[in-house]
Amino acid sequence: MKNTTRHLKRVTAAAAVTLAAFSLSPSAASALPGGGSGGPAGEPGTQVVGGTPAEQGEFPFMVRLSMGCGGSLLTQDIVLTAAHCVDGSGENTGITATAGVVDLEDSAAVEVNSTEVLQAPGYDGTGKDWALIKLEKPIDQPTLPIAGDDSLNNGDFTIAGWGADKENGDQQRYLLKAQVPFIDDATCKSAYPNLVEGEELCAGKLDTGGVDTCQGDSGGPMFRKDDADKWVQVGIVSWGDGCARPGKPGVYTEVGTFAADIKKAADSLGG
């Protein structure tokens, strides 16, 4: 985890099960106990700040993970999330993925346990913030394709999650969504000199703040429509300074950079 005294991952405590809001503004949150981007150093990050409730079925690829992170269905039995949400690679039956609903307490929610985790090779807390979670059985929901390059790294992105709806706020029961604009690397580096260009991208309302991912949103997708009007994932919620602060946008793993590695890893898991 990079410089956690200033730039916190957007993770939240595992005990917080009612996570539903994702904040669309500068700074993304992790999902592991004690590592968030939504509060003072050492506290977990939160959800989508400045968001509105998502409609049932609007983002059917969204997944809530029991350790307090978000994720997306790369395939029906593999979840794409953040490397900082998991503890290394190998057999792991202790994670539960919840999908198919915007209300985490909906009786129609589908819950499936993990069988294996594959953390990005070489992940050391800086960049390469992606991981895959293999599920014991498929989830019958649409999947979210990933970008193969950086051609969609522009315009406005959609973010969604069950994280906190404000810095130091509570996890949400209902899925929240928001939109955040792309910020180029040169501009983002003025806020975060340690930005790993080519591996991380930034999004948020730089001047005003107010919209962002937060604690509990770590690992969730940032996505947009392609030329065929289909959703494509371009980012993974990673880290930021606080949640939705002016001058401190959210930082996301640049999916296009790692597309080949992610697909190779998924193939190794049988996805």
Q: State how far the alpha carbon of 261 is from the alpha carbons of 3, 34, 114, 151, 266, in Å.
A: 26, 29, 21, 18, 9
Catalytic residues: 84, 129, 218
* Amino acid identity, position 86: V
pLDDT lower than 70: segments of the chain: 1-8, 10-47, 271
Residue 238 lies in a domain: no
Give the CATH number, domain containing residue 105: 2.40.10.10
CA angle 259, 151, 31 (to 5 degrees): 50
Residue 83 lies in a domain: yes
Residue 49: its pLDDT value, please? 80
96-99 and 110-119 as β-strands: parallel, antiparallel, unpaired? antiparallel
Q: Is 85 helix (H, G, I), strand (E, B) or coil?
A: helix
Residue 18: its pLDDT value, please? 29
Residue 35 lies in a domain: no
96-99 and 250-254 as β-strands: parallel, antiparallel, unpaired? unpaired
Residue 255: its pLDDT value, please? 98
Domain count, the chain: 1
Residue with the two structure tokens 């992170």:
69
N residues, the chain: 271
Q: State how far the alpha carbon of 199 is from the alpha carbons of 157, 238, 251, in Å.
A: 17, 11, 10
Which residue, 265, 241, 264, 236, is CA-closest to 252? 236
The answer to whether 15 and 206 have CB atoms below 8 angstroms apart is no
For 232-260, letters b (16+ CB in 10 Å) and e give bbbbbbbbbbbbbbeebbbbbbbbbbbbe
Residue 264 lies in a domain: yes
Query: Cβ-count burial of 103 within 10 angstroms (0-12 exposed, 13-18 middle, 19+ buried)?
Result: middle
Q: How many CB atoms lie within 10 A of CB 207?
A: 9
Q: State how far the alpha carbon of 11 is from the alpha carbons of 27, 37, 95, 135, 154, in Å.
A: 12, 7, 15, 21, 26
pLDDT digits (tens, 9 = 90+) for 225-251: 999 999 999 999 999 998 999 999 999
Residue 71 lies in a domain: yes
Residue 113 lies in a domain: yes
The answer to whether 116 and 163 have CB atoms below 8 angstroms apart is no
Domain that holds residue 126: 62-143+258-268
Which helix (H) or strand (E) is 268 found in, with range? helix 255-268
Residue 118: its pLDDT value, please? 98
Residue 179 lies in a domain: no
Residue 173 lies in a domain: no
